[in-house]
Amino acid sequence: MQMNSINNTYIVLPAYNEGKVIKEVITDIQKEGYKNIIVIDDGSLDETYSRAKSTGVIVLKHPINRGKGAATQTGIDAAKLLNADIIVTMDSDGQHDPKDIKKLIQPILDGKADVVIGSRMLNTKGMPKSRIVMNKIANIVTYIFFGILVSDSQSGFRAYNRKAYTSVYTYLDRYEFESEMLGQIKNAKLRIKEVPIKVIYTDYSKNKYKHMNTFPAQGLTNGFKMIARLIESSLFK
Kindly state whether residue 226 falls inside one of the protein's structural domains.
no
How many other C-beta atoms can be found within 10 angstroms of the C-beta atom of residue 148? 17
Residue 145 domain flag: no
Q: Tell me the pTM.
A: 0.88
What is the predicted pLDDT for the residue at 47?
A: 98
Each residue's pLDDT tens digit, 139-190? 998 999 999 999 999 999 999 999 999 999 988 887 789 999 999 999 999 9
Domain membership flag for residue 169: yes
DSSP state of 96: B
Cα 237 versus chain centre, distance: 23
Q: How many domains does the chain have?
A: 1
pLDDT tens for residues 202-227? 777 667 756 555 545 555 555 556 66
Q: What is the CATH number of the domain that holds 45?
A: 3.90.550.10
Amino acid 24 reads E
Q: Is residue 165 part of a domain?
A: yes
Would residue 115 count as lying in a domain?
A: yes
Higher pLDDT among residues 25 and 218, named by residue: 25
47 in a domain, yes or no? yes
Residue 24, in any domain of the structure: yes
Residues paired with residue 193 on neighbouring β-strands, in sequence order: 116
CA distance 225 to 78: 30
Expressed as residue numbers, the domain containing 183 is 2-126+154-199
Run of H or E residues at 125: none
- For residue 75, which of 33, 142, 20, 67 has the smallest C-alpha distance? 67
List Cβ neighbours of 106 (8 Å cut-off, separation of 6 or more).
none
Decide if 174 is inside a domain.
yes
pLDDT band at residue 1 under the 50/70/90 scheme: very low
CA distance 87 to 9: 6
| Cβ atoms of residues 137 and 219 within 8 Å | yes
